Structure 1
Amino acid sequence: MAFPDIQSFMQLLESRGELLRVSAPVSRDLEVTEIADRLVKQGGPAVLFENVIGSEFPLLIGALGTRERVALALGVDDLDELARKIRALIDLGGGGSRLGLLSNVTKLGDAMKLPPRRMRTAPVQEVIWRGDEVDLSRIPVQKCWPEDGGPFITLPLVITHDPETGERNMGMYRMQVMSKNTTGMHWQRHKTGTRHLEKAKRLGQRLEVAVAIGGDPALIYAATAPIPPVPGLNEFAVAGYLRGERYPVVKGVTVDVEVPANAEFVLEGYVDPQEDWVMEGPFGDHTGFYTLPDLYPLFHVTAVTMRRNPVYPSTIVGRPPMEDAYLIEASERLFLPAAQLIIPEIVDYHMPPAGVAHNLVVVSIRKEYPGQAYKVANGLFGLGQMMNAKVIVVVDEGVRVTDLDAVWREVTAKAQPGRDTLTTRGPIDVLDHSSRGWGYGGKLIIDATTKRPEEVGSAVSSREDQADDVTAEAFVPQASADLPAFEGVLDQWQTPDGYWIAALDKTHAGQARELAEAFAAHPAAAGVRHLLICDEQTDVRDLGDVWWTVLNNIDAERDVWTLPAHAGTLLAWDGARKLPEEGFVREWPPKIVMSQEIKDRVDRMWNVYPLPERWR
């Protein structure tokens, strides 16, 4: 189903009871975030804020805040159907050989037959601000979190053309509003926008940029999708394929860039590569931590075009789960067929919200020979943006990868620390604050598949014979009251399947390793396979909170150790903050926490907005 624009999708959501209108005055500074955060974490509805203080435009948030709404937006019954649609684009010709297949991995002919449809006029150019008329403060751009450096556009579709080839790119890069007519442009070093800017600099010219806000949901999704680098294939083509019709575009009024004709707003302008970069941030990011200030290019707005009655679509990122988790899930389904073509033993994979996309990947495989788990994991590290994965857990094909309780049980039962864990290093997400270097750090592979004799170095002869070759004795969890006391541990908990979790108030260098060694030497460690050391803010009984903290706070090569323990080996994960005395030279960022003042205000106003009590 093709939606003409975001407002038509909004109307459908409202007809289905999945959109609420708030007519009471609401502040764009933090208040919108607190309301939206509560709703998305409970699977609640989207919201249209009709009266944003200081702006004449309404603000829409949460439109893609559940997997069902994302599927609806992409015209499929469920997200698995998206994988089937993409699989239909894979060319399985190529002469039958694997080399032939790889030479034609992406036919994508159906998509490339849907180039954008050029329009002479467009709804998004019904109203135009030029020159001194441009005033970004009139648009209800949010300040999302208390420590943010200012208001950020969080759902921008940033469009540039390669200055040499003319190839179009669209990406979603956050934009901090710096003044009435300038913003930051968060083009990270590995992003296509940065490459276009570098080419413009070599050519001695400015880079023209257009930023669409809105469009239909398929285009918003396409801007986030891991699209293969195939000539002629771009976000407009993918959105056209998902829509089943060519995407309407119109030339900008002050830039030679084609923009979505059905957007709500378009910011037109340029980035001057000769200009000094500006300090951007901090920003409460999708990791759930603040990204600290850094230098980025400055975007100059020469015109703002819009509909006569536009809606400002927005989103928030932060501590998971957030709306972006469902866009990530859609991209999982998009990427799966291509991954299976290159690594055919893959059955399924999942990037759970606690791993904030790259920190954790669970993959199930059809295992046929020893070492296959490592072959698959290393193959994934070489596939596109999967290069940023930090921890890959490989399980047998019968394990449901979305059932994390089952996955972690498989890890304790079938992955012996040291023998079935492997650390390596490589590219890491540039937003990772714990890596040893910017965009570079340690990685961990955990082989939680059923072992073959060659993999255990023993006489295990069959899968049936191997119920659990790891645990030497049955693990009996102790009651919380019986847990031993360790220095600096504020709270601790044992899970029934061999994980010991400790919240550590860290006061000196090396304290986490001291705790790990003391724990491993204690009789209580018998049968425990994993010690998860968290920071003092972690709820040790909330496994989502635990894994989110640990995965964010480790460099896998530096902070995950194998230790001898009672009745076996122990894997210690140091998810506490790192100190300068430990050689960590960068500033450690804080976790994102909303101010109590805003929480209290939203509590007082909940029935005034009004919003249903069940979503409070």
Structure 2
Amino acid sequence: MSYKHLKHFIDTLEKADELVRIRTYVDPKLEIAEITDRVSKLPGGGKALLFENTGYDFPLLINAMGSYRRMCMALGVQELDDVAAEIESLFKMLSKPREGILDKLTMLPKLGQFASWMPKVTGGKGACQEVVMPAPDLYKLPVMQCWPKDGGPFITLPVIHTKDPMNGSRNVGMYRMQVFDKDLTGMHWHKHKVSAKHFMEYKKLKKRMPVAVILGGDPVYTYSATAPLPENVDEYMLAGFLRKRKVELVKCLTQPELEVPADADFVIEGYVDPEEEPIWEGPFGDHTGYYSLADWYPRFHVTCITHRKDAVYPSTIVGIPPQEDAWIGKATERIFLAPIKMTLVPEIVDMDMPVEGVFHNLVIAQIHKDYAGQAQKVMNAMWGAGQMMFNKILAVTDEGTGIQDYRQLAQYVFRHLNPATDIYFSQGPMDVLDHSCSKMGFGGKMCIDGTRKFDEETDDSYEWPAVRKDLNVQQLAARFPEIKGVNTTLLQQDIPCLLVSVQKNRPHHVRELNERLYELPEMAGIKMVLYVEHTVDITDLPSALWRFCNNLDPKRDSFVVTLPAGGPHGKRRAGIGMDGTLKTRILDNFERDWPNIIVADDATIRRVDDKWKELGLGPFVASPSLKYKHQIYGEEAVVQQ
């Protein structure tokens, strides 16, 4: 289905008991984010929140797509897999050989459907232009500051429109916008993004670049702006396909080269001047759960702001997972499985992006395996596919196990894994927000081949003794005082993997510790050791895995240990250690600043605690930040030694 406007979606959520209206005054500076963080981490993602008393003329909607059900409602489907099934059906229909005239005629209705999804520019003004601000003023919008160390307030759900100056092709993307003045923001597009490429073309031409930003409208616009589409596919064609109704566009008032959806809630028009000095933008509490560091980005000058008479300001927060963006990512995982299968990896059966991996860090691919080396083939194909190029850890398995039951999956992968021969390392482009890379946007990648092995892939010179589930943690800690904790939970579940918290105090410390640990007889059979810093709560596996994935550069921080032949069969054994601790200049020769994790400040937590009963959100929910207070590195947003 399609929504007429954002208010239509809000009404639909309310009728489905998926929304709470909050009439108590709540400050967009820090307080809304703190409340949303508590709600979004409730089982299933909590409820959507409509803050009606923000001190501004407009209500603020947040967490609107922050659950599986609401994500499905936003896209008008019962299940996210329904979209993938429809895409796969279309692919098959279009690729089917057509021999006779009757076969070709059967295509006409579908071709008509394609035409009905294409965006259309209409004449006149749209509802998004019902009110024109006499003078554009971003300070009239309830723009949130989400976290205490943020550089300022940020527009967090902007749908940004640009065009290629050479061929006029449109790109619709989503890049955060820090508000610096009533008519000035930063434009945080990364060098890998299409809008950044458009910007470089304008720079060559020495021309101002028109930019238009919408907020609100049909929620499918917001989703489509985040979708990993090829450069030559219009995001509004995807939106039309999802809503089963074409997107009607109107020309901007001060930037007429650009068109925006007529039913948007807000339109912010302006330009970026490639000849102008960039602005120092950030830090920002990002979707990784860490602050992304400040850097230089283009200035966006606002020339006009228009809005609907009944406009609602949509927003979101990102931070320590899970947040609303986890469900947006889940939609992408399900929807784009079909195109990956039909165009790039025909053997793929299923795919999963665990929330602890914050999208790119960890991806699990299940394939139908027919020959030796197929996992490596899949690895190369996926790392060459669009935004999958940012993937850091890829785990490949086959149809011998499901991938939704993580315990069963881990048992299967480790049973078929030789750490010395089945883990592959590479380097390539990484997300600019990945702080673990020694060089920004370029770092290590790892593929774990957890498929069953053919004879050609098997090295019989290795053996795997039974794992000792009674590993004496106290003895390990006594022998190695830098070890502050050992989690053996996975060993009890027949998963030969240890989680160790360590306090480093010298260069190469983790590598040397890993070698000494694997020399111990009681470590026989343990295939993998994951190291995290001593402040991490290793009893909380999801949280520890989130910290580990963020802090690891797989190529730089992985240490394979092969022990010489011995034992009753005269065979070798091997294991791998991975250093997921924070990196510093002194101990790791790491030259970049290292960001801090995101937590709310004590004053904001107290204010929200005090007004919780007035909010109508049910039983009291404590701040999730309290769990991580002892894990931050100090009062500053970055640390470097």
What band does the TM-score fall into relative to the shorter chain?
Answer: over 0.9
**What aligned pairs does 1:474-493 form with structure 2 within 5 A after superposition?**
474-478=467-471, 483-485=476-478, 486-493=480-487
Matched letter for residue 491 of structure 1: G
Distance 1:336 1:112 in 2: 24
Of stretches 500-509 and 242-251 in structure 1, the one that deviates more from structure 2 is 500-509
Tell me if 1:601 matches 2:607. yes
1:197 corresponds, among 180, 196, 199, to 199
**What aligned pairs does 1:14-33 form with structure 2 within 5 A after superposition?**
14-33=14-33
Report the TM-score, using the length of structure 2 for normalisation.
Answer: 0.89
Deviation readout 1:558-609 (Å, 9 max, x if unpaired) = 1011113698322111000111132211001111122222223222221122
Distance 2:211 2:57 in 1: 25
Change beyond 3 A, Cα 1:176–1:399: same
Shift of 1:318: 1.0
Distance 1:344 1:246 in 2: 30
Shift of 1:545: 1.2
**What aligned pairs does 1:431-580 form with structure 2 within 5 A after superposition?**
431-458=433-460, 471-478=464-471, 483-485=476-478, 486-494=480-488, 495=490, 496=492, 497-564=495-562, 568-580=573-585
Distance 2:121 2:241 in 1: 16
Q: 2:438 touches 2:592 (CA, 8 Å); kept in 1? A: no
Distance 2:584 2:524 in 1: 31
Secondary structure in 1 aligned to 2:381?
helix
Shift of 1:613: 0.7
Tell me if 1:361 matches 2:366. no
Distance 2:36 2:48 in 1: 8
Q: 1:82 touches 1:330 (CA, 8 Å); kept in 2? A: no
1:116 corresponds, among 114, 119, 128, to 119
Shift of 1:438: 1.8
Tell me if 1:394 matches 2:361. no
Change beyond 3 A, Cα 1:426–1:41: same
Distance 1:479 1:606 in 2: 45
Tell me if 1:273 matches 2:268. no
Distance 2:301 2:372 in 1: 56
Distance 1:111 1:353 in 2: 34
Distance 1:594 1:480 in 2: 34
Of stretches 476-485 and 496-505 in structure 1, the one that deviates more from structure 2 is 476-485
Q: 1:44 touches 1:615 (CA, 8 Å); kept in 2? A: no
Distance 1:477 1:435 in 2: 37
Matched letter for residue 592 of structure 1: I
Identity %: 42
Residue 612 of structure 1 corresponds to 618
Q: 2:390 touches 2:431 (CA, 8 Å); kept in 1? A: yes
Shift of 1:94: 5.3
Q: How many residues are aligned here?
A: 593
2:593 corresponds, among 587, 592, 602, to 587
Q: 1:350 touches 1:402 (CA, 8 Å); kept in 2? A: yes
Matched letter for residue 528 of structure 1: I
Distance 2:138 2:534 in 1: 40
Q: 1:158 touches 1:210 (CA, 8 Å); kept in 2? A: yes
Shift of 1:410: 2.2
Distance 1:186 1:449 in 2: 40
Secondary structure in 1 aligned to 2:594?
coil
1:227 corresponds, among 229, 240, 245, to 229
**What aligned pairs does 1:145-184 form with structure 2 within 5 A after superposition?**
145-184=147-186
Distance 1:615 1:512 in 2: 38
Shift of 1:51: 0.8
Shift of 1:514: 2.7
Residue 105 of structure 2 corresponds to none
Of stretches 567-576 and 320-329 in structure 1, the one that deviates more from structure 2 is 567-576
Matched letter for residue 532 of structure 1: L
Matched letter for residue 591 of structure 1: I
**What aligned pairs does 1:32-47 form with structure 2 within 5 A after superposition?**
32-42=32-42, 43-47=45-49
Of stretches 488-497 and 473-482 in structure 1, the one that deviates more from structure 2 is 473-482
Residue 4 of structure 1 corresponds to 4
Matched letter for residue 170 of structure 1: V
Q: 1:111 touches 1:240 (CA, 8 Å); kept in 2? A: no
Shift of 1:478: 3.3
Distance 1:324 1:274 in 2: 34
Distance 1:48 1:537 in 2: 36
Of stretches 16-25 and 499-508 in structure 1, the one that deviates more from structure 2 is 499-508
Shift of 1:112: 5.4
Of stretches 418-427 and 152-161 in structure 1, the one that deviates more from structure 2 is 418-427
Matched letter for residue 476 of structure 1: K
Q: 1:126 touches 1:308 (CA, 8 Å); kept in 2? A: yes
Distance 2:22 2:372 in 1: 58
Residue 102 of structure 1 corresponds to none
Of stretches 521-530 and 205-214 in structure 1, the one that deviates more from structure 2 is 521-530
Shift of 1:117: 2.9
Change beyond 3 A, Cα 1:327–1:111: farther
Structure 2: runs of 5+ lacking an equivalent: 98-109, 623-641
Residue 100 of structure 1 corresponds to none
Structure 1: runs of 5+ lacking an equivalent: 97-106, 460-468
Distance 2:114 2:32 in 1: 37
Residue 302 of structure 1 corresponds to 303
Secondary structure in 2 aligned to 1:14?
helix
Distance 1:262 1:371 in 2: 50
**What aligned pairs does 1:257-406 form with structure 2 within 5 A after superposition?**
257-341=258-342, 342-406=344-408
Matched letter for residue 8 of structure 1: H
Q: 2:467 touches 2:524 (CA, 8 Å); kept in 1? A: no
Residue 243 of structure 2 corresponds to 243
Distance 1:500 1:405 in 2: 14
Q: 1:475 touches 1:498 (CA, 8 Å); kept in 2? A: no
Shift of 1:45: 0.2
Q: 1:413 touches 1:470 (CA, 8 Å); kept in 2? A: no
Secondary structure in 2 aligned to 1:343?
coil
Distance 1:336 1:440 in 2: 26
Secondary structure in 2 aligned to 1:513?
helix
Shift of 1:525: 1.7
Secondary structure in 2 aligned to 1:237?
helix
Shift of 1:490: 2.5
Of stretches 332-341 and 358-367 in structure 1, the one that deviates more from structure 2 is 332-341
Change beyond 3 A, Cα 1:157–1:295: same
Of stretches 438-447 and 335-344 in structure 1, the one that deviates more from structure 2 is 335-344
Residue 82 of structure 1 corresponds to 83
Q: 1:33 touches 1:145 (CA, 8 Å); kept in 2? A: yes
Report the TM-score, using the length of structure 1 for normalisation.
Answer: 0.92
Change beyond 3 A, Cα 1:117–1:544: same
Aligned CA-pair RMSD? 2.1
Q: 1:352 touches 1:402 (CA, 8 Å); kept in 2? A: no
Distance 1:45 1:273 in 2: 42
Residue 216 of structure 1 corresponds to 218
Deviation readout 1:42-95 (Å, 9 max, x if unpaired) = 120010011113x22111000000111111111111111110122233256558
Secondary structure in 2 aligned to 1:406?
helix
Matched letter for residue 124 of structure 1: C
Distance 1:236 1:291 in 2: 29
Shift of 1:482: 5.8
Change beyond 3 A, Cα 1:504–1:111: farther
Secondary structure in 2 aligned to 1:607?
helix
